[in-house]
């Protein structure tokens, strides 16, 4: 029953995430305005706005029939619902679960906004940094996953400095921007959440996944080395790898 509850809860937050993904880049309110169809601009009735179910019943189309609903809406809702369920399955009712659910919502929104618009809004990274640091003062947190406030602070500063340094050096050498400060703020937020030890691990795996993703298009020359790449999604993937396998990775590194 609780697994079903968290799946439904996740789908609801996935629906809200879709609103943020669509509206934040447009600087629109995500709270006070009712959902509307991006095509015909008509307000969506509550029975057409049920997560997952409405998408299926409407066959991925607006009720007016003239606008096809992006599969992203269904994917985001299903992804968030699945992650919520998995987190509860692993950690049960706990502060760790609550924190990871909050992080999930932020990560899902950032992932899809950066993937589509190549931006990471400050409205997402600043609260994520704040929550990550404030939570570190709780002495009862899961110490295997979350750092104390000293490691959290070092992680936040270290994460920002690493990306900032890359941006600075790249601009000096190539005389153009290589990455955005949004990536620096996101890595800083990850550092605040998981401490300084997470930073090199997240950078390594995010770079590895980015290389594996981009390499085929570089080989077939459909993309060149100067093409813009949203790195935020890869940082998030790297962070998820750290959350999932961090203890094994740290054990392997420190016991070499």
Q: Rounded to the nearest 5 degrees, what angle is found at the Cα of 9, between the Cα atoms of 236 and 108?
A: 15
Amino acid 3: pLDDT:
93
Within a domain: 55: no
In contact, 162 and 199? CB cutoff 8 Å: yes
Spatial distance between the Cα atoms of 135 and 133, rounded to a whole number of angstroms: 6
Within a domain: 251: yes
Amino acid 65: pLDDT:
64
Q: How far is CA 212 from CA 114, 205, 217, 218, 239, in A?
A: 19, 10, 10, 10, 17
Within a domain: 24: no
Within a domain: 192: yes
66's CB contacts (< 8 A; 6+ apart) are 39, 40
Spatial distance between the Cα atoms of 175 and 170, rounded to a whole number of angstroms: 7
Residue in the structure block whose two tokens are 């943020």:
20
Within a domain: 37: no
Amino acid 32: pLDDT:
65
Per the structure, the count of domains in the chain is: 1
Spatial distance between the Cα atoms of 77 and 56, rounded to a whole number of angstroms: 12
Within a domain: 176: yes
To the nearest 10°, the Cα dihedral for 216, 221, 223, 227? 120
> What are the per-10-residue average pLDDT scores of the chain (256 residues)?
94 94 88 70 74 83 75 95 96 94 97 94 96 93 90 96 89 74 95 95 94 83 72 96 87 68
Within a domain: 255: yes
Count Cβ atoms below 10 Å from residue 23 Cβ, excluding itself.
Answer: 15
Q: Domain span at residue 232?
A: 137-256
How are the residues of the chain apportioned to helix, strand and coil, as percentages rounded to the nearest 5?
Answer: 70, 0, 30
Amino acid 224: pLDDT:
67
Q: Which of 205, 163, 207, 194 is nearest to 181 (CA)?
A: 163
Amino acid 190: pLDDT:
97
Count Cβ atoms below 10 Å from residue 245 Cβ, excluding itself.
Answer: 13
């Amino acid at each position: 029953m609780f697994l079903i509850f968290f799946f439904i809860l996740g789908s609801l937050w996935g629906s809200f995430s879709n609103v943020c993904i669509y509206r934040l880049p447009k600087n629109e309110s995500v709270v006070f305005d009712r959902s509307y169809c991006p095509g015909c601009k008509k307000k969506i009735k509550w029975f057409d706005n049920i997560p997952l179910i409405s998408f299926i019943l409407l066959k991925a189309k607006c009720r007016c029939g003239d606008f096809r609903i992006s599969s992203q809406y269904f994917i985001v809702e299903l992804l968030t619902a699945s992650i919520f369920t998995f987190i509860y399955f692993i950690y049960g009712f706990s502060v760790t679960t609550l924190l990871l659910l909050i992080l999930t919502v932020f990560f899902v929104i950032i992932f899809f906004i950066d993937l589509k618009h190549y931006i990471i809004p400050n409205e997402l990274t600043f609260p994520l940094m704040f929550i990550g640091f404030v939570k570190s003062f709780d002495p009862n947190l899961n110490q295997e996953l979350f750092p104390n406030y000293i490691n959290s602070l070092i992680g936040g500063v270290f994460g920002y400095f690493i990306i900032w340094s890359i941006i600075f050096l790249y601009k000096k050498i190539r005389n153009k921007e290589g990455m955005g400060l949004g990536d620096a703020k996101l890595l800083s937020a990850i550092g605040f959440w998981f401490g300084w030890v997470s930073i090199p691990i997240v950078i390594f795996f995010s770079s590895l996944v980015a290389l594996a993703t981009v390499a085929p298009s570089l080989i077939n020359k459909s993309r060149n080395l100067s093409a813009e790449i949203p790195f935020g999604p890869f940082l998030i993937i790297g962070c998820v790898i750290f959350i999932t396998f961090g203890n094994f990775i740290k054990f392997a590194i420190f016991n070499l």
